[in-house]
Amino acid sequence: MVNLLLHWFISTASLLIVAYIFPGIEVRGFGTALLAPIVIGLVISIPIIVFGATLISKLLDRFHWLGMVGAALIGWIAGEVMAGDGRRDVAGADGKLVETIEPGTLAAWLDAHLPHAELVAAIVGALFVVGLGLLLARRKARPHRQG
């Protein structure tokens, strides 16, 4: 949050400096200069988001399997995150990062009982999400029986 506010004020100050150097640019006060970066950011980002969403929608309409690939990716990341809960990177005495595992965490239990725990959990997460998606799609495609 602090970085965002700092960036916002730097953008405002930059706009005021540019307006001071170039007489063709007129800024009527600090409030206008504060609002300008927000407006400029929205004007630039909204078309990019709309274009990206349209492109993704057209790709998903044409290649249905991409949705399953995206779901598998989300499951993979979720499995890695769960297996990595309790792992920390700590700076060693020589300044290099050293991976530590906090005792009593899921990562410590998995490392004690399962070799390559993060990879295995990632694969299991991806397979679980894809399998559940296929199961739900099959259930939805099945005709309902009237009772």
Domain extents for the chain?
1-62, 64-147
- Global pTM reads 0.63
Q: Looking at the chain, how many residues does it have?
A: 147
Q: Measured between alpha carbons, how far is 19 from 28 in angstroms, rounded to an integer?
A: 10
- Is the sign of the CA dihedral 31, 45, 13, 21 positive or negative? negative
pLDDT tens digits along 27-65: 777 777 777 778 888 899 999 999 999 999 999 999 989
What's the pLDDT at 147? 56
In degrees and rounded to multiples of 5, residue 144 shows phi and psi of: -80, 140
pLDDT tens column, 107-133: 888 888 888 888 999 999 999 999 999
Packing angle between helix 65-83 and helix 30-62, nearest 10 degrees? Answer: 120
Band the pLDDT of 146: cuts 50, 70, 90.
low
